[in-house]
Amino acid sequence: MTTRHHGDPKAEREFLTIVLNNPHLLADASEMVSPKHFVGPKSRAIYESALAVYNAGQSLDLSTLASEMQANGEMKKLGGRSEIAPFFGAYVNEAFLTSLSVRIRSNAALRDIGAIAAEVLSECSTMRPDEQSIATMVDDIQGRLSDAVSHGRADDAGEARDEVPRVAERLMQPSSGKLSGVPTGFIDLDDVLHGFRQGQLILLAARSRVGKTSMACDLVRQVANEGYTVLFFSLEMTRDEIWERMVCGHARVSLHALRSRQADDEEKNRIKLASSDLTKCSIYVRDTPNMTPNSMRGYARMIQHKKGLGLIVVDYLQCIQSGKDKQTRYEVVSEVSRQLKVMARTLNVPVVALAQLNRQAEDEAPRLSQLRESGSLEQDADVVLLLNRPHVFDDSKDPSLATLDIAKHRNGPCRMVNLDFDADTVSFRNRLPKVEDFTKVSQESPVAPPRRKKNNWYDNGQFD
């Protein structure tokens, strides 16, 4: 079987003609195409040198480019100054930069895919014909293929002179009132986190029976309702069970009651409206029970290419297989935790992973040290949320109270957030201030209650 060596030298020359004659486009060009995407070694060397001149803050022209290539030893390999002179003064419409970038990058992806395929064929001739080995290889291939078509940043290193002024300018801009991350729908949580940030790994941890999956379903619904595409990996429950929880939570109808009797007319209307609302949301639920981080990343990449992706939720972390043989449980959880963080960074999407706490959390308020089976969970996570419902372990506590302890927050404060839990619909909601709270404040102090951000319940003592 013969294989075609994919490449488009003409597109590469036209691309170089545009950027060499329009140096102001190099910043955008470098985001779309890196030197490794070029099939021609001469074109690759010219592009690398042009980026070096630009990043050094020099004016890009024939003289500076030739000097750079002379200094790094590329000029002799290239064949002399006459090889780069024709690019300067030639004309290609700069409007074609994006389409040329796509052609160059697509050919590079095809070359990578071909190399992966050749390697797979070689491995297939020697590997053992057992199910676990095949599944591991498939997961590995899926992850590598997803990386081959990634459209991420071409250069993973940033220089202070280029990036610090941009970051400083952004920090000095006045707040627009919008969250900098993906809104969770829980007002007090967003006040602290400013939404889930791209590339973050967020752990939502609790003991069994507290409601991790219900909380995850609420997050999925509320984030999707803001217009984001959400991908839910459910390794413990079936898709139908997840959809039932989402429909009943949105309709505010008791799922337990419906399973024991026929829905009345009002409940049917609510369910129909909830179904209509959720149908308009971009939510994907995958319930394959034996997923690995690599297979998750490959599937998430596919959804991202089709629809874009705002949030990934995984239920739950300790159910995920690492895809590697002969590992202790500690090593498996550590590997999975690290790979979920890599997935969040690679896809530039927040990943919420549910996790179990050990049994000590039943006797006391949950703590970071109670994360089960691996110390790397706390280390890898950017945010750790410890969910608790005190009533589950102590009947004297308020059955509607749920607490969300922000036990780790890499970019901000750690605080406790109170939520309401509705046992009938098995869902969490914003905890609203009680009328008695306002009455108590007005009676005890002539000072107006402090302004509370973003929930509009009171503002300097005045109702909206």
DSSP symbols for 7-36: --HHHHHHHHHHHHH-GGGHHHHHHH--GG
My answer on whether 204 and 97 are in the same domain is: no
Say if 151 falls within a structural domain: no
pLDDT (tens digit per residue) in 300-359: 888 887 888 999 999 878 888 776 666 777 788 888 888 888 889 888 899 999 988 877
Is 193 domain-assigned? Answer: yes
Length of the chain: 464
Report long-range pairs for 368-373 (Cβ below 8 Å, ≥24 apart): 368/407, 368/408, 370/205, 371/203, 371/205, 372/318, 372/333, 373/318, 373/329, 373/330, 373/333
Claim to verify: residue 243 and residue 323 sit in the same structural domain = yes
More confident site: 138 or 391: 391
Q: Which of 126, 155, 175 is the last residue of a domain?
A: 126
The total number of structural domains in the chain stands at 2
Asked whether residue 177 is assigned to any structural domain, the reply reads no
Name the more confident of 222 and 155: 222
Claim to verify: residue 384 and residue 255 sit in the same structural domain? yes
**Block residue for tokens 């039943």:** 362
In this structure, the answer to whether residues 397 and 261 fall within a common structural domain is: yes
Q: What is the pTM of this model?
A: 0.66
d(CA 232, CA 335): 20
Give the pLDDT confidence score for residue 89 in this predicted structure: 82
For residues 31-58, give the mean pLDDT: 85
- Which CATH number belongs to the domain containing residue 395 in this structure? 3.40.50.300
User: Which residue range(s) make up the domain with 220?
Assistant: 187-432
Identify whether 158 is part of a domain: no
What is the per-residue pLDDT across 58-86, written as a single tens digit (0 to 9) for each?
888 888 998 888 888 888 788 788 888 88
Whether residue 122 has pLDDT greater than 70: yes
pLDDT (0 to 100) of residue 386:
92
**Does residue 48 lie in a domain region?**
yes
What gap in Å lies between CA 181 and CA 53, rounded to an integer?
35
**What are the φ/ψ torsions at residue 5 (nearest 5 degrees)?**
-90, 105
Do 301 and 205 reside in the same domain of the chain?
yes
pLDDT (tens digit per residue) in 400-448: 899 999 988 988 889 999 999 988 888 899 987 665 554 454 454 444 4
Q: Average per-residue pLDDT in the chain?
A: 80
Domain of residue 15, CATH code = 1.10.860.10
Closest Cα to residue 317, out of 297, 342, 292? 292
- Average pLDDT of the residues in 447-464: 40
**Cis before residue 228, ω within 30 degrees of 0?**
no
pLDDT at residue number 449:
44
- Residues 259, 353, single domain; the answer is yes
Q: Does the residue 451 lie in any domain?
A: no
Is residue 244 assigned to a domain? yes
113 found inside a domain: yes
pLDDT at residue 77 in the model: 80
